[in-house]
Structure 1
Amino acid sequence: MWTREMFGTDVYHLISAFIIYSMIGWLVESIYMSFCNKKITNRGFGRGPFCPIYGFGGVVGYLILHPLSDHLIGLYLAGAVLATTFEYLVGRLMLKIFGEVWWDYNEKPCNYQGIICLESTIAWGFYAIIIITFLHSRILELVDRCNAQWGIMACRIILLLATIDYVTKLMKIFHVSLKEKKERLMDAYHSFRARWY
């Protein structure tokens, strides 16, 4: 699976880049919000240093935008529009699922529904330039410096920990206890068994 080619690169490099972007995004946003709030602020959904919206944004953004690497103005504009659209769609999805968005731009000038704002759109364009012209190649170099077996093991461990972290948080949000989950699984098992045995 890890060596399978997708979008001109292998799954190992894509997943590694996703993890690194998720962690860099968490770090940058947590530092920025800590500065704004004048106290240490964890901007991740869970407890760990992981924001998958930045992982998806970084990897998908690179895959879509890298053909524009020699056209900085086009890259800036496309990056700003693509990331703002992605942010808006994620915000609307969060509203539908959770009833709230985990960021609030209502105090920012030129915002739309508190989900997107001009300040972030401007920043997304610069992030696109940084990622496409500089950061992505450095991330791939870093991944290549590591032994692939150790790198794959690290990816598995990080994704497992992030999954546990997020599932635990979602269970708290939706008020699902482990006992209830076990009871539901047992009921489903007994129902399945009664049908087939």
Structure 2
Amino acid sequence: MTLQNFVYNKNTFSKKTWAAIFFGIFFSGGIFGFIYETIFYIINNGALTRRGTCFGPWIEIYGFGGLIIFIVSYGLRKKPWLVFLMSGLVCGLLEYAAGFAIYTSTGTRSWDYNTEIWNFGNIGGFICLRSVLVFAFAGLLLMYVIVPVLIWLLEKIGEKRFFILMTAVGLLFLIDILYNDVLAGIAPVTNAIEFYGKSGWYPIVTGYTMR
């Protein structure tokens, strides 16, 4: 019933509860991205590859992407095919724009589909059909599995505990991002890429500003 209530009824949560749900989406998106990229790069590189710039098992661009997908798709939730199309379209355009902007402004790439397998529909290495389809299916997963599960958890443990839990995991993710992507750039501290590179836990360690 949670899924049906979320899709077909007006969700009249308080601003505090909505903030907690957004933290949950942000955290869940980051975890999803880490799992997806870990599996894909085992296949692509033939070895366990540590992706992202954070210490935790999450990747920031997927966390922010999850929030974007939810915002643009919430009003379309009664029509899964529109959620699918909007998720792929919006995130695909953002990925291309971000990759192109980084490359033209710095001369470096945060990702390059020219060097990866399954890169059909590749455009300049910034976007390919695989990535767009992943975003599209991720939109369905978010809207019809993850968010209903978050709402189910909210109903089970109550608003206060839900807010504390989601805020805690969301802030932990944000602190990790700020440490590695901001503080490590201005202070002589060890960032996640250096830490995992020296630890020997991963045969390959890669990390980018955006992904």
- Partner in structure 1 of residue 180 of structure 2: 165
Structure 1 segment 103-118 matched on structure 2, within 5 A: 103-107=111-115, 108-118=119-129
With CA pairs under 8 Å and 6+ residues apart, which has the higher RCO, 1 or 2? 2
Amino acid at match of 1:127: A
TM-score computed with the length of structure 2 as normaliser: 0.67
- Partner in structure 1 of residue 51 of structure 2: 43
Structure 1 segment 9-158 matched on structure 2, within 5 A: 10-107=18-115, 108-142=119-153, 145=157, 147=161, 148-158=163-173
**1:70 Cα deviation after fit:** 2.5
Aligned length: 170
CA RMSD of aligned residues (A): 2.8
TM-score computed with the length of structure 1 as normaliser: 0.72
Amino acid at match of 2:92: T
DSSP 3-state at the match of 1:166: helix
DSSP 3-state at the match of 2:114: coil
Give identity over the alignment, percent.
Answer: 22
Gaps (5+ residues) in structure 1? 180-197
**1:97 Cα deviation after fit:** 5.0
Please list the CA deviations of residues 112-149 of structure 1 after superposition, one character each: whole Å capped at 9, or x if unmatched. Answer: 11101122222322222222222222134346648233
Amino acid at match of 1:11: A
Q: Which moved more, 1:74-83 or 1:146-155?
A: 146-155
Amino acid at match of 1:95: Y
**1:5 Cα deviation after fit:** 2.5
Tell me how far apart the structure 2 counterparts of residues 53 and 75 of structure 1 sit (CA, whole Å).
19
DSSP 3-state at the match of 1:106: helix
Structure of larger gyration radius: 1
Gaps (5+ residues) in structure 2? 1-12, 190-211
Amino acid at match of 1:69: R
